[in-house]
Structure 1
Amino acid sequence: MKSTLDQINDIKNHGYALDFSNVFNHAFENYKKIALYAGLILLVFSILFGLLAYGILGAIIGFDKLTNANILSIKPENLSQIHLIYYIVVSAFVSAIFSPFTAGFLKMADCADKDQEFNVSTIFSYYRTHHFSQIFLATFIISLISVVITSLLEIQKLNSLGLLISLTITFFTFLTLPLIIFGNLSAFNAIKSSFIIISKQPLVLLGLMIMIVVAFFVGLIALCIGILFTIPFTYSMTYAIYCAIFNIDKEDPIDSIGQSDF
């Protein structure tokens, strides 16, 4: 079987076919297997992370100040240069440190698709494998670029343009994580390859991403908390798209601990 890089090289030269209905059906069937379990995990850990963040912020700036709504509405245009740098770096770091948690849901989707057992520990799988460094690095790079651009545009009062660019970056890099954890690519190769793959079928992939947005709105209608049970559809869709493009190795990436990333 061709390596992931060889398959990407073929895609770069010849493109690939992607059937909207097949991918959507695969994603929906996979979602039904993980929706309840993943939704409950998101609910529990959202509460835990929220309490942790509240405790950390309270310890740093004082719990009395947290009652001020303005304290959490940080705007780049109101920050000094040094505080702006802190804001950008911390934002990118937070996204990066939580990215293996996100990758864990892709692993859950993979287990469900193969009818393998999964549990809470599955979500934390990539914090203890050789993939961690590449997942962290890739997410940090993407987040850093996105936050820098949006912050600079917000300072220029171009918020809408900043949001558009941020969404565009997210769209063209959403295959980065599966390329790392399933394709065993390095961070830089995964980011570059994600751009290549998505640029070959942007309309079909955009249509599939719109289905995710629709699912989010359905979750919001369901007393807002329902969104926690529609978020797993994002991971099922990402997984289904990756499966439609590549052959996923039967080797469990969790069993590859200690192997080189390259």
Structure 2
Amino acid sequence: MKSTLDQIKDIKNHGYTLDFSTVFNNAFENYKKIALYAGLILLVFSILFGILGSVLLAVIFGVEKLNNPAFFSIKPAHLSSLQLVYYIGGTILFSAILSPFGAGFLKMAYCADRDQEFNVSTIFTYYKSSHFLQIFLATAIISLFSVSISTFLEIQNLNLLGIVVSLMISFFTFLTIPLIVFGNLKAVDAITSSCILISKQPIVLLGLMITIVAALIIGFMALFIGILFTVPLSYSMTYAIYYAIFKNEKEDPIDSIGQSDLE
């Protein structure tokens, strides 16, 4: 079987087909299997992360500043050069550290698609996997470009352009993590490969992403907590898109004997 990079070379030269309805239906069927479990996990860990984040901010900046609403509306344009470095660096580090957590939902989608058992520990699969470093590096690189550019544009009072650039970067790199965890690519290869794959079917993929955004908006309107149960749809969709592109056959249980669950 061809390697992922070889398949991407073929796609770069010849493109690939992607059917909107097939991918959406596959994603929704997968979502139904993980929605409740993943939503509850997000709810619990959102509360835990919120408490931890509040405690850290209180320790670093003091409770008085946290009680001041202006503290949470600080704009990059009002920060010094050193504070900007801390701001960008902190954002990148935070995103990179949490990225394996998000990748765990892709693992959950993978297990659900193959009717394999999954549990809370599935979410932490890639923190103890050989893929951890590549996930961390890829997220750090993407965040560096996105945050640096958007921050620069915001300082220039081009906030809308900064948002557009950030969304474009997110769109063209959203297949990076599945390319690492399912395709075994290195960070830079995964980023460049994601851009190639997205550029070959931008209209269909954009349409699929818009459906995700619509679902998230509906979830947000449902007393906000609903968004926690619609977020898993984004992971099911990403998983479905990846396997629609590469059209990998589902693994035979006999063939998987002896293989690591972390692969």
TM-score band by shorter chain is: over 0.9
How far off its partner does 1:249 sit? Answer: 7.5
Offset at residue 86 of structure 1 (A): 0.9
> Relative to structure 1, is the Cα distance of residues 248 and 238 closer, same or farther in structure 2, using a 3 angstrom cutoff?
farther
Does residue 179 of the first structure (1) align with residue 179 of the second (2)? yes
**Aligned equivalents of 1:26 and 1:124: distance in 2?**
25
> Aligned-pair distance for 1:73?
1.9
Structure 1 runs (4+) deviating above 3 angstroms are: 248-256
> By how many angstroms is 1:220 displaced?
1.6
Q: Which residue of 1 aligns with 2:49?
A: 49
Percentage identity across aligned positions? 68
Aligned residue in 1 for 2:193: 193
Residue 214 of structure 1, CA deviation: 0.9
Match of 1:143 in 2: 143
Residue 254 of structure 1 is matched in structure 2 by 261
Other-structure match for 2:117: 117
Give the superposition deviation at 1:65.
Answer: 1.8
Q: Distance in 1 between matches of 2:260 and 2:67?
A: 44
User: 1:38 aligned to 2:38?
Assistant: yes
RMSD, matched Cα: 1.2
Quickly say closer, same or farther: Cα 1:46–1:14, change in 2 above 3 A: same
CA contact (8 A) 2:12 2:197 kept: yes
Equivalent residue for 1:259?
A: none
SS at match of 2:108: helix
How far apart are residue 255 of structure 1 and its match?
A: 4.0
State the 1:58 CA deviation. Answer: 0.6
Deviations 1:93-152 (A, max 9, x none): 100000000000000000000000000000000000110000000000000100000000
Shift of 1:72: 1.9
1:221 to partner: Cα distance: 2.1
Question: Per-residue deviation at 1:253?
Answer: 5.9
Asked whether the 8 Å contact 1:23–1:237 carries over to 2, the reply is yes
Q: 1:58 to 1:115 in 2, by over 3 A?
A: same
Contact residue 15 and residue 200 of structure 1 kept, 8 A: yes
Give, as a single letter, the amino acid of the residue that structure 2 aligns with 1:54.
S
- Deviation for aligned residue 1:224: 1.1
User: Contact 1:134–1:187 (CA<8 Å) still a contact in 2?
Assistant: yes
Instruction: Give the length in aligned residue pairs.
Output: 256
- Indicate if the aligned counterparts of 1:12 and 1:196 stay in contact, CA closer than 8 A: yes
TM norm structure 1:
0.95
**Superposition map of 1:209-220 within 5 A:** 209-220=209-220
| CA positional deviation for 1:248 | 6.5
Q: Which structure 2 residue ranges, 5 or more long, are not aligned?
A: none
CA distance in 2, matches of 1:112, 1:74: 42
1:202 equivalenced with 2:202 (yes/no): yes
Q: CA deviation at 1:71?
A: 1.1
Residue by residue, what CA displacement relative to the aligned partner does 1:215-234 show, whole Å, maximum 9, x if unpaired? 01110221111000000000
Question: 20-29 or 216-225, which moves further after superposition?
Answer: 216-225
2:81: which partner in 1?
81
Residue type of the alignment partner of 2:189? N
Unaligned 5+ segments in structure 1 are: 257-262
Could you state the TM-score of these two structures normalised by the residue count of structure 2? Answer: 0.95
Equivalent position of 2:26 in the other structure: 26
Q: Which amino acid aligns with 1:196?
A: I
What is the alpha-carbon distance in structure 2 between the residues aligned to residue 15 and residue 182 of structure 1?
20
Deviations 1:167-191 (A, max 9, x none): 0000000000000000000000000
